[in-house]
Structure 1
């Protein structure tokens, strides 16, 4: 049986003038080259740290990227053979790493950490899509008409009212555990309601999943998997969870022991020479809420489009305790939405910007609204520009 030549044998034969026929390697596809390049980065990490990369929330950003990449490689059926000659540490065939970043690709991890990184085409595996990812995309796309949508329409309308009133908020989607029966999300620009959730199952990788019935506010539905909805929300830059209604008072106007969250409703007038502002100086007001001092909030007003690129004067403030700033501001803006000023101001670079927090409303009505906020009766009122008064709204 013939012995195989080693590299040293080849060198010796070469010095003796004997040519050795070299093994020919088949040309690799760009996809295979990307897999190998990504795997070599992981090997460098292992050589430096003496262990595979981990999905640690406190770990280095690149370690988390390599951990996700290793997961991806292990899921590729062709990777084991492709990397057989390189995988001296038996990484590609190793056990699954922790589930904490199970569905996050490189971009998703960076987005969660608020970091934008321009990736090198040598090290990214963005175009390597697993079968599970392709199935997730199909699940999102394959929607059908919801035959009993009229049953769900009032739920969507109620959620929208609660968002307008500040009883609900939208927050970035974070965890698979947030997907539960009865919850609302925003995905691909549409509200989605999880109407049904089947029994939890385990995937081949030992991860939990469940079949959902998801109703969308455009009258369609999908029987997608929980992991499919999760991936769709992670990949959608505007993907959001709609929070549940918050029980209890919006805020109190007296301090209780332990209350250290204070805030201020402020009312400003602009010194802008914009024709609309100049003609209605006593009626044009900016109404906002801040947990800072108002003086700090308006510092540099003349440089900010939200302040109409002009100095402002403080005409009223109302200090409050135990507030939720976002909910309170949404509520105030909902009350005065009919009097919202449609005004556009060029910023410092000449780009047009719409200022959204200015209203054509007299100060005495703002005072009345704040009083109704304090006594808890404001939810039934809106501002009527024709009568310049707060009126009960039709629910």
Structure 2
């Protein structure tokens, strides 16, 4: 009985019993907490209606899609400076035209706002606020860059061919004519390479060469090259398309196995546009968006000398947290999908808010987490979307389920 009395005394002396009624209601987390994000996105989604005069815009959408697939246009991470009438964007995987901006004005934070007329490629339209559009684009969108000059023009401009110049090789693109089902059935399969001899001469014995998949090939594109370091070309383009390299083992006529490295699964027009950017030197600013099969301009991260956010987060609810490097890296790579924080007495106001009328405590809702590595002045940081927030009563942890990494500053 003495032991039981001690346990009871310790229980009634617990500091938890000194909590206010609101604090005692800490773990009363109602179901409607999950609805705030839906409300925040309502202006972007709910106001879409059928566009009665969509025929006026359809040709423009088809043209932009064609130019994107050909590499004449490219994608770039959205910034507010991209707002202008007639600009195209991709949001949530859907192509959209910012047709008009009405009642343009600066809000209390000196940021541009106003009503818009937006037309979507699926035949709908919306008069959403500019701020709502911007938030959707930051989370899951791109700006569509204007069209650029053609490949042949870029070649001529770069090489500046003169009578005294000597040709130094050919850039070529080949398509396999193999009857092997594992090769014939692969759409957009091309070999990209450079040759110092005429391409027709180079491929004469293709059916006996594992480099050409032991089958005949067809030349689909080739360019004479002048005045460029052509020996570096293959390394550049192979690295650029490494994510879509075609992996196959081929047996030669002697029974030896080879793994060709110069075949890629990528649309021909994208290859041509990439060659153009290698020639004019702008390739360093681009990467290949494999899922959308489009060229995407790289996001330029802020440097230590200028660790400034490129995203306007005005009106966002952002929770700032410190995090260890190992977990930071896992979030950036996509391996870590949630961030956890223990709900301590000292952190109540940070993670929750109190409804004094009902004496109920609720989890605070955040649009994003601003994560910092350590405490040094030049520390790396990231802005990460929060798609849901929950409380795990067993571990007493607040769980922030993470979406896209919106920005990285290193």
- What TM-score bracket applies, with the shorter chain setting the length? 0.3 to 0.5
**Which has the higher relative contact order, 1 or 2, with Cα contacts under 8 A spaced 6 or more apart?**
2
Structure with the larger strand share? 2
